[in-house]
Amino acid sequence: MFRNFKTVSRFIFGRGCFAQLSDILAEQRKDRGFMVFLVDDVFMETPLKDRIPVSTEDLLIWVNVDHEPTTRYVDDLTHQVKGFKDDHLPDGVIGIGGGSTMDLAKAVSLMLTNPGSSADYQGWDLIKNPAVFHVGIPTLSGTGAEVSRTAVLSGPEKKLGLNSDYTVFDQVVLDPELIAGVPGNQHFYTGMDCYIHCVESLTGTYLNAFSQAHGEKAIQLCQEVFLEGGPDSDDKLMMASYMGGMSIAYSQVGICHALSYGLAFVRGIHHGIGNCLAFDCLEEYYPEGVREFHRMMEKHRIVLSRKGLENVGSEEVEKMIDVALMLDPLWENALGADWKQKMPREKVRELYEDILGQG
Ligand code: NAD
Ligand code: ZN
C-alpha cells in the first residue's frame, strides 16, 4: 500500500516574514474568537516577545521545554486552554520555538477536539477528529517537526508520537532570522538531527525516488552549512530541515533514532544530543555518514557530553532496549525485513553499552 500523505497547507518563507503573522492570523479570526500562542520561554525577555501579534482577546502561554514534551504537560495545557473562555475552542494554536514547542502546539490543537488524555493517542492514526487550526514557527532548525505528521511525546509507557494526518500544521512560517541566536552546541545537535534523518532515509530499505529527491538536497544543504558555512547558512538549514522532514515522511528513520528514543525515555536525554551520542557509535551501519559527522564535529569543536547518562544500571539498559525494539519500522527500514535476525537483543545491548561508555 502506498501512503497517501498529507502535507502542510501553507508555507511562508523568507527573512522577516514573521512580520506577516498578524495578517495570516487575521484570516482565521472569527467574531469573539481568540488565538492561543504557545511560545518557548527562552524568548520571555527578548525582542521577539514584542513582535508576537497577541491581541487583547488572546492567550499567550510561555512553555518550558527543559524537559521534552510529555503527555501530562499536553493534557495540562489543553485543560488551561479549554478553561480560558468557558470551553470555547480557540480559532488557532500557534507554536513558536524548536521541535518541542512545535510538538506541544500540534498536540494541544489535537487534544482540544479529541476526548481523553493525549497518552490514549500515542501511536498511528488513533486521532479521530480534526484539530483546531494550528501554525508552526520554528526558532531552531533540524527536527523537521514543522512538516511531519507526528507530535512526539513521552507518556507513562513509551515515547511515541501522535501520528496522524490531522497532526500536520495548517500553516508554517519559516523565517531564518528566528534561528539566528541559537547557542552553538544546540544549533549543532538539532542540525545533526536533520543530517541523521537524511543518512537514515538515504541508506534505508524504504528508499524511493520521492524520499531520495528530498534527502539528497537536504544532505547537501547540511554539508554546506556544517562543513563550509557562510552568510546564508540559516536559510539553508531551515530548508534542509524541511526537506529532511519530507524525505523521512515517505521513508523512515533508522537505528540511530531507535536508540536515541531509548535514551530519551529512560534518562530524558534530548533528541538532538541523544542522536549524536548514538550516531557516534554506528560507523558499522552508516560508515560514510558517521565519518562525515565526525568531520563536522571537529570543525565545530563539538565534544559530546554524556551528562545525564551517569551510572546507568542494567535494568535501565534493559528498558532502553525495550523502548528501542518497539520501533519495528525503524529497524526494518535500516536492516530489511529480516532485521530481527540481524539485530538480536544482545546486539542492541552492545550498542547501548558502547553509547554509555560501558563497553
Ligand atoms: P527543543 O525545542 O527541545 O529546544 C532545545 C533548546 O533550545 C531549548 O532549551 C529551547 O528553549 C532552546 N531554543 C529554541 N529556540 C531557540 C532560539 N532561537 N535561541 C535560543 N535557544 C532556543 O529542540 P529541538 O531539537 O528543536 O527539538 C527536539 C524535540 O523535537 C524533541 O522533543 C523531539 O522529540 C522532537 N522531535 C519531533 C519531531 C517531529 O517530527 N515532530 C522530529 C524530531 C524531533
Ligand atoms: Zn530526529
Give pLDDT tens digits for 213-235: 999 999 999 999 999 999 999 99
Whether 26 and 101 map to the same domain: the answer is yes
CA atoms within 13 Å, Cβ hemisphere of 208: 10
Q: Is 52 helix (H, G, I), strand (E, B) or coil?
A: coil
Whether 29 and 120 map to the same domain: the answer is yes
**Domain's final residue, options 179, 208, 235:** 179
Total count of domains within the chain: 2
Show Cβ contacts of residue 331 under 8 Å, excluding neighbours closer than 6 positions.
254, 255, 258, 325, 339, 340, 343
1 domain residue, yes or no: no
pLDDT reported for residue 157: 84
**Domain's final residue, options 144, 179, 214:** 179
For 126-171, give the secondary structure using H, E and C. Answer: CCCCCCCCEEEEECCCCCCCCCCCCCEEECCCCEEEEECHHHCCCE
What is the pLDDT of the chain when averaged over all its residues? 97
Give pLDDT tens digits for 82-111: 999 998 999 999 999 999 999 999 999 999
User: DSSP E strands: which ranges in the chain?
Assistant: 10-13, 35-40, 59-63, 92-97, 123-124, 134-138, 152-154, 159-163, 171-174
CA 94/CA 102 separation, integer angstroms: 8
4 domain residue, yes or no: no
Whether 218 and 264 map to the same domain: the answer is yes
| 144 Cβ below 6 A of ligand 1 | yes
285 domain residue, yes or no: yes
Res. 129 pLDDT band, cuts 50 70 90: very high
pLDDT reported for residue 61: 98
Res. 168 pLDDT band, cuts 50 70 90: very high
105 domain residue, yes or no: yes
| 155 Cβ below 6 A of ligand 1 | no
CB 273, CB 305: distance < 8 Å: yes
Whether 204 and 291 map to the same domain: the answer is yes
CB 279, CB 293: distance < 8 Å: yes
| 262 Cβ below 6 A of ligand 1 | no
Q: What is the CA radius of gyration of the chain?
A: 20
Whether 57 and 173 map to the same domain: the answer is yes
Rounded (5°) CA angle 232-237-241: 155
Whether 94 and 117 map to the same domain: the answer is yes
2 domain residue, yes or no: no
Which residues are in the CB-under-5-Å shell of ion ligand 2?
Answer: 193
Give pLDDT tens digits for 278-334: 999 999 999 999 999 999 999 999 999 999 999 999 999 999 999 999 999 999 999
89 domain residue, yes or no: yes
Whether 247 and 282 map to the same domain: the answer is yes
pLDDT reported for residue 1: 80
Show Cβ contacts of residue 308 under 8 Å, excluding neighbours closer than 6 positions.
267, 268, 269
At residue 153, what is the residue type?
L
Whether 167 and 43 map to the same domain: the answer is yes
Residue 138 Cα to ligand 1 midpoint, Å, equals: 9
Whether 95 and 109 map to the same domain: the answer is yes
163 domain residue, yes or no: yes
Question: By residue range, what is the domain housing residue 106?
Answer: 10-179
3 domain residue, yes or no: no
Atom of ligand 1 nearest to the CA of 245: 40
Q: Which residues of 124-159 are buried (b: 16+ CB within 10 A; e: fewer)?
A: eeebeeebbbbbbbbbbbbbbbbbbbbbbbbbeebb
Whether 140 and 224 map to the same domain: the answer is no
Show Cβ contacts of residue 150 under 8 Å, excluding neighbours closer than 6 positions.
103, 161, 162, 163, 167
201 CB-contact burial (10 Å; exposed 0-12 / middle 13-18 / buried 19+)? buried
CATH number assigned to the domain comprising residue 46: 3.40.50.1970
Whether 114 and 235 map to the same domain: the answer is no
Give pLDDT tens digits for 25-48: 999 999 999 999 999 999 999 999
Whether 198 and 166 map to the same domain: the answer is no
pLDDT average, residue stretch 9-16: 98
CATH number assigned to the domain comprising residue 215: 1.20.1090.10
**Domain's final residue, options 179, 209, 237:** 179
pLDDT reported for residue 249: 94
| 287 Cβ below 6 A of ligand 1 | no
pLDDT reported for residue 337: 98
Give pLDDT tens digits for 273-282: 999 999 999 9
From 49, 70, 100, give the residue whose CB has the most ligand 1 atoms within 8 Å, as the site to mutate: 100
CA 53/CA 134 separation, integer angstroms: 15
| 185 Cβ below 6 A of ligand 1 | no
CA 244/CA 232 separation, integer angstroms: 18
pLDDT reported for residue 184: 87
Ligand nearest to the CA of 330: 2
E strand or H helix at 66: none
**Residue 70 carries which DSSP code?**
B
